[in-house]
A and B are shown apart, each in its own frame.
Chain A
Amino acid sequence: METFAYLGVAFLILTVLPAFFMQNPPDGWKPPGWSPTAAQVSHRSAKDYSLGEALRTGQWWALCCSFF
């Protein structure tokens, strides 16, 4: 049972330390010298859905069912 104690401490360190590095780039950040190609732009939806809007789409429920 000590295994769980050792693993718990190891996991705590291995998750909390990287967690400090988890930060979003500033708004509008892009890799230097990069601009999206037409293909990359077309892969992105033109619209960002809110949670409520997403819940009213058929695609959301289809994904939900397939993952379940």
Chain B
Amino acid sequence: MTVNRWGIAIAGVVLQVALGAVYAWSVFRVPLAKQFGWSIPEVTLTFTISIFVLGIAAFFGGLWLNRKGPRIVALTGGFLYGAGVFLARFSDHKLWWLYLSYGVIGGIGLGLSYIVPVSVLVKWFPDRRGMITGVAVGGFGRGSAYHRPRRYAASFKQ
């Protein structure tokens, strides 16, 4: 089977763009605080938890990736990230549930997924290691640009 490494690069960027949405957490700050009477620091702690858990999960994801290969780590990470964000839907008046779903479950998913495209793509692009690492990680940063406060405003009671 021939594999086009540019196809893998595109898949890696799509994955990173989806993950990068976490950096846009602040678009939810005010709507969530208003709707449920939480303070801004209380809502922001969700992001702190998510990024902290990302760091821990990425460590174990790296060990796992070396043993079992990238696909299973990326699949598990993607599933947990999607599930964590989805479950955040049920955090009405339950701040701890928001921390658990978006923060812990989503954070584990982020950490596992984040490392995979970087690890895979530097192996496919030994001739352009710096460029491909930038493309992959840049996708993560770009992901947040697609989330604008106004787009979500209607979903929350102001």
Chain A residues with CB under 8 Å of chain B are: 1-5, 7-25, 29-31, 34, 36, 40, 51
Contacts and interface: CB of A to CB of B under 8 A. Distances in A.
Contacts of A4: 85-89, 91, 102
B74 A19 contact: yes
Contact of A15 (B19, B87, B124): B19
Contacts of B88: 4, 8
A22 B116 contact: yes
Contacts of A8: 82-89
Contacts, number: 132
Given A8-B84, A12-B79, A30 B69 contact: no
Nearest to B90: A1
Given A8-B83, A15-B79, 11 more contacts: A1-B90, A3-B155, A7-B21, A8-B85, A10-B18, A12-B81, A12-B82, A15-B74, A18-B11, A29-B123, A40-B127
Interface centre among A5, A18, A20, A30 (most CB of B within 10 A): A18
B120 interface: yes
A7 B24 CA distance: 12
Nearest to B66: A51
Contact of B15 (A2, A14, A30, A51): A14
18 contacts: A1-B89, A1-B90, A8-B87, A10-B82, A11-B85, A12-B79, A16-B79, A18-B74, A18-B78, A19-B15, A19-B71, A19-B113, A21-B11, A22-B12, A22-B116, A22-B120, A23-B71, A23-B120
